[in-house]
Structure 1
Amino acid sequence: MDSPVEIPFKSFIQLKPEENTALYLQIVFEFIKAIQTGFLPEGTKLPGTRILCKVLAVNRNTLIKAFQDLESQGWIETLPNKGTFILSQQKQKNKTDFMAAKEITAETNIGFSFQRSTILENPTEISNLPYQFNDGMPDLRLMQTDVLARLYVSKLKRRKTFKAYEQIQLRSHLNFKTHFSNYLNLTRGIRISTSNLLTTSSHEIALYLVTKVLIAPVDKVVVASPGYYMSNMTLTNTGAQIISIPVNEDGIDTKRLKEICETSVIRVLYLTSSYHYPTTIPLSAKKRMEVLELANQYGFVILEDDYDFDFHYDNNPVLPLAAFDSNQKVVYIGSFGKSLPSGFSYGFVAAPSEFIKELEKHQNILEPGIDVLKEQVLTEWITEGEVHRLSKKNKKIYKERRDQFISILNEKLNGSITFKIPPRGLAIWVEWLDHFNLITFQKECSDKGLFLPKTILYQTKNLTATRLGFGHLEKEEMEKAISILKECLEIITH
């Protein structure tokens, strides 16, 4: 094994002190990633903390705290008078109850070089534990696969010759866009035609296409903090300079936004205005007007991400900024059909027609084909009112689950947490009144049969919070999961 001081730690340990995630947690996550990807194989001896803290430019106490976490999770072990060593992956699996969704091994004899991204990582984790939280996903058990299957099969049986099928592709796609744009106009208060609409296979593809066309490496992009890890990853990958602004009790800090605009040229403000991720705070009416005025005054583009519109629980949903955009400063992206089976949901972009034309050029490379059958099925669902019926039914179910979840939180964790009741969405933003180590809490919950993915954990110097999704849980599952939270909280705080 090479001398530990020869290991190029800076090439694969990427720390960002300016971010809200505590620095020791960044070190923990980066070391785990390096071990899983093979940069730090079993048996590797690590340098002493004094040497390594100089290499990584961090405080020694911060590094020691990170190493304590890594050792408690089974990723490293410290032997008296010998040093600190990387454990084997087999040992790690014995000490943890979850695994990464995709395990990547380092290729040592590859015959060519290629660009490696230190930004784009798959944050998804898979667990076999009986109880699990996520960041707010719908319940797959509620999806009406039988109805969709019948419609799909009927469309397949009506399919004519391939030549005729090819000829109707564009006409069918235009018909789908017509009904879909009308649906968006009706439900979200925006005023668009087919020329203002781009449909994509997913919300993530929609965001990627927009950032590809809209943002250059020299640009400055403002995001809220805390923010959505997936969108932040996509935005950072453009090479732009990311500027964070805090979120207050009524949305982003517009005073801070104006201060930034007065000293810098901002290209884009990325905003989850109606239902901020992860805190679930809606942007107040006053601030919504302020944001639009600032965009008009300083010339930046508002990239509005309405990722969870399908799940609002009142009769007067907060309309997107795009509904009030008279100066064409808003690019509106969202998702449709989250309650539909996998493969039937859509992402979309609503924007000025010239911008949509440019997006289509790039989409033709990423998604050159049109799934005519799927579009015809969804068009029929929209025109027959099935989408509205399903949406109304699901909102009733998820509202009941939200209320049940809140009741159980108040019953079992009263005095330990604070939260606000969200008017939409499938998650609750929970702030813990005690300041404790979330990684230790995660491990304790895992030992008791409850999985908390790291993507729902938020910890800074002044914040210990968790985004708890409830949409996928029935009442009995909620009670058990929250009971485990309570039990583990008592263990680590007493």
Structure 2
Amino acid sequence: MIPYKTILKIDRASKQPIYIQLTNQFINLIKERTLPPQAKLPGTRTLSDLIGLHRKTVIACYEELILQGWIESIPKKGTFVHKDIPLLQQQEWTEKVIDRTDDKTGFSFNKNPILNRKFPQDYTEDYMYVNDGVSDERLAPIKELSIIYRKIANKKHMLKYMKYGTTYGNTELRETLVCYLNETRGLNITKDNILITRGSQMGMFLTAQLLVDNQDYIIVGETNYSSVDTTFEFAKGKLLRVRVDENGLNTNDIEKLCKKYAVKAVYTTPHHHHPTTVTLCAKRRIHLLNLAKTYHFAILEDDYDYDFHYNHAPILPLASHDTCGNVIYIGSICKTVAPVFRVGYLIASKAFVDECAKLRRFIDRQGDAILELTFSNFIKDGSLDRHINKVVRIYKARRDLFCKLLKEELSEYLSFEIPMGGMALWVTLNKNYSWDTVTEIAKQQKLIISEWQRYDVANIKHNAIRMGFSCYNETEAREFVKRFKKTMVLVDA
């Protein structure tokens, strides 16, 4: 006789219903073979008396076990463990303590080394990071967005947006962005040319999956946004690299490669090249568009920080000059407002957008319709423009201060050009120093320089990294430079 009274334990303080607690314990007894197949269970009245529970609780437990297929009730005979429960194959018992830290998996799966990245580990809040150039979340218009979101969510007709919707993104946001982008970026698009994405990276992933067949050639800069390199390599594309100078991608190099290879696409960040921050000059912009028309390749234009320009008006994107449907234009509201708001867009020919929408169904299905409606209203009532005007003034002041501090305190160790826009500097370390050494010693000053190697995947040994300034206020910028200088003094010691 199984000692049910001592084996079965009930926690009356638990939020889990008592009959479910009882059910789970019976399941464990069956899996462990304490209750083997065809073992007879005590009657509900008998068990309720043994363990001190109401009979209805035991009945509910047995009914649940029957529904799940663990036990069966045979009329006029009783309740039994189901005869067809197979033996659970468990690891043999050993007195040696098993090390579980390797997190073993009981099945095979693909591991792609292309995806390997040394992401920074978490540190306490008193650490500072050298970042790529990110917006300051403290400046995000949370109050304005919250008011709009609540107002929208409280309307009864919003219930229809709680259902599955279109994979193209919320229709109202698409229409709003069409007007906004046509006015601000000189585009000439309709709703059919735009797909809402969860940020620019989704747009790049969709593009790579649809553009690239095995070993297709993709042209990128010698210095390039490393996530795009990974995205195209994951799609089994083959990267061809061209030089980048003070005028951006060298389009003469691109032309030479087009004569030699069947190039499928060129990736570019023409407004502020990532990572060097330089702007693609007008001559090269037109040359690149003409090459795309001649050699029938796509131009993937990533306009990740169009709104942040300080010295003069933003330069119109390549997409505004595209007359042959060669440009796939990708942008995002994430970097303008805050990274947490995953709202971006992909703009291309209707045929390409349609195909992206089909593929998107099997990746993410759809976006957040209420959030997208919120941003539609945020754009239409002028709040986005007001936010941009505000943060551009702040980021310009932060750029100027950051550059001033670096020149005053660290000019003997590094050099840079003041960028016309964006949220980061391209900083070159004196050739007498190594980022390897600087990175290790910087940790002593609670300054983290992560993944600096990704800025030189072509191994041209430029000894430079991208250094963001936009997320640091005056006090933080001074502290950042102070820690960096202490680091370099220790490197020299």
Query: Does the alignment pair 1:438 with 2:435?
Result: yes
Query: Does the alignment pair 1:127 with 2:127?
Result: no
Q: 1:330 to 1:411 in 2, by over 3 A?
A: same
Structure 2: gaps spanning 5 or more residues: 1-99
- Cα distance in 2, alignment partners of residues 273 and 479 from structure 1: 31
- Cα distance in 1, alignment partners of residues 488 and 187 from structure 2: 45
What are the Cα deviations for residues 288-332 of structure 1, in whole angstroms up to 9, with x where unaligned?
Answer: 111111111222111111111132224421111111111111111
| Displacement after TM superposition at 1:107 (Å) | 4.5
Q: Which residue of 1 aligns with 2:426?
A: 429
- Cα distance in 1, alignment partners of residues 199 and 167 from structure 2: 20
Give the TM-score normalised by structure 1. 0.74
- Cα distance in 2, alignment partners of residues 283 and 438 from structure 1: 28
Query: Does the alignment pair 1:153 with 2:150?
Result: yes
- Structure with higher Rg: it is 2
Q: Report if aligned partners of 2:167, 2:360 keep a CA contact under 8 Å in 1.
A: no
Give the TM-score normalised by structure 2. 0.74
Q: Report if aligned partners of 2:161, 2:370 keep a CA contact under 8 Å in 1.
A: no
Q: Report if aligned partners of 2:425, 2:467 keep a CA contact under 8 Å in 1.
A: yes
Q: Report if aligned partners of 1:435, 1:464 keep a CA contact under 8 Å in 2.
A: no
- Cα distance in 2, alignment partners of residues 216 and 296 from structure 1: 20
Q: What secondary structure does 1:338 align onto?
A: helix
Q: Report if aligned partners of 2:270, 2:280 keep a CA contact under 8 Å in 1.
A: yes
What are the Cα deviations for residues 314-367 of structure 1, in whole angstroms up to 9, with x where unaligned?
Answer: 442111111111111111111124243454341211100011000000111222
Q: How does 1:346-385 map to 2 (within 5 A)?
A: 346-385=343-382
Moved more, 123-132 or 343-352: 123-132
Q: Report if aligned partners of 2:246, 2:278 keep a CA contact under 8 Å in 1.
A: yes
Q: Report if aligned partners of 1:295, 1:301 keep a CA contact under 8 Å in 2.
A: yes
Q: Which residue of 2 aligns with 1:388?
A: 385
| Displacement after TM superposition at 1:462 (Å) | 3.8
Query: Does the alignment pair 1:294 with 2:271?
Result: no
Q: Report if aligned partners of 1:169, 1:372 keep a CA contact under 8 Å in 2.
A: no
Q: Report if aligned partners of 2:305, 2:336 keep a CA contact under 8 Å in 1.
A: no
Q: 1:452 to 1:170 in 2, by over 3 A?
A: closer
The match for 2:111 among 100, 111, 116 is 116
Q: Which residue of 2 aligns with 1:89?
A: none
Query: Does the alignment pair 1:231 with 2:228?
Result: yes
Q: What secondary structure does 1:334 align onto?
A: strand
Q: 1:370 to 1:278 in 2, by over 3 A?
A: closer
What are the Cα deviations for residues 398-452 of structure 1, in whole angstroms up to 9, with x where unaligned?
Answer: 1111111111111111233221111111100011223322121011111012111
Runs of 4+ that moved beyond 6 A: 167-172
- Cα distance in 2, alignment partners of residues 379 and 475 from structure 1: 33
Q: Which residue of 1 aligns with 2:31?
A: none
Q: Report if aligned partners of 2:360, 2:366 keep a CA contact under 8 Å in 1.
A: no
% same residue: 29
- Cα distance in 2, alignment partners of residues 461 and 136 from structure 1: 23
What residue identity is the alignment partner of 1:213?
Answer: L
What are the Cα deviations for residues 53-99 of structure 1, in whole angstroms up to 9, with x where unaligned?
Answer: xxxxxxxxxxxxxxxxxxxxxxxxxxxxxxxxxxxxxxxxxxxxxxx
Structure 1: gaps spanning 5 or more residues: 1-103
Q: Report if aligned partners of 1:229, 1:455 keep a CA contact under 8 Å in 2.
A: no
What are the Cα deviations for residues 122-168 of structure 1, in whole angstroms up to 9, with x where unaligned?
Answer: 54313324322211001111112122112212222213484686599
Q: Which residue of 2 aligns with 1:67?
A: none
Q: Report if aligned partners of 1:221, 1:269 keep a CA contact under 8 Å in 2.
A: yes
- Cα distance in 1, alignment partners of residues 390 and 172 from structure 2: 26
Q: Report if aligned partners of 2:167, 2:365 keep a CA contact under 8 Å in 1.
A: no
Q: What secondary structure does 2:271 align onto?
A: coil
State the Cα RMSD in Å: 2.4
Q: 1:461 to 1:170 in 2, by over 3 A?
A: closer
Q: Which residue of 2 aligns with 1:475?
A: 474
Q: Which residue of 2 aligns with 1:465?
A: 464
| Displacement after TM superposition at 1:458 (Å) | 4.1
Q: What secondary structure does 2:240 align onto?
A: strand
Query: Does the alignment pair 1:180 with 2:164?
Result: no
Query: Does the alignment pair 1:406 with 2:419?
Result: no
Q: How does 1:185-200 map to 2 (within 5 A)?
A: 185-200=182-197
Q: What secondary structure does 2:243 align onto?
A: strand
What residue identity is the alignment partner of 1:464?
Answer: N
Q: Report if aligned partners of 2:167, 2:361 keep a CA contact under 8 Å in 1.
A: no
Q: Which residue of 2 aligns with 1:66?
A: none
What residue identity is the alignment partner of 1:389?
Answer: R
Q: How does 1:45-124 map to 2 (within 5 A)?
A: 106-108=102-104, 110-124=105-119
- Cα distance in 2, alignment partners of residues 205 and 233 from structure 1: 13
What residue identity is the alignment partner of 1:119?
Answer: I
Q: 1:476 to 1:426 in 2, by over 3 A?
A: same
Query: Does the alignment pair 1:256 with 2:237?
Result: no
Moved more, 291-300 or 367-376: 367-376
Q: What secondary structure does 2:362 align onto?
A: helix
The match for 1:136 among 123, 133, 136 is 133
Q: What secondary structure does 1:278 align onto?
A: coil
Q: Which residue of 2 aligns with 1:484?
A: 483
| Displacement after TM superposition at 1:190 (Å) | 1.3
Q: Which residue of 1 aligns with 2:319?
A: 322
Q: Report if aligned partners of 2:379, 2:385 keep a CA contact under 8 Å in 1.
A: yes
Q: Which residue of 2 aligns with 1:53?
A: none
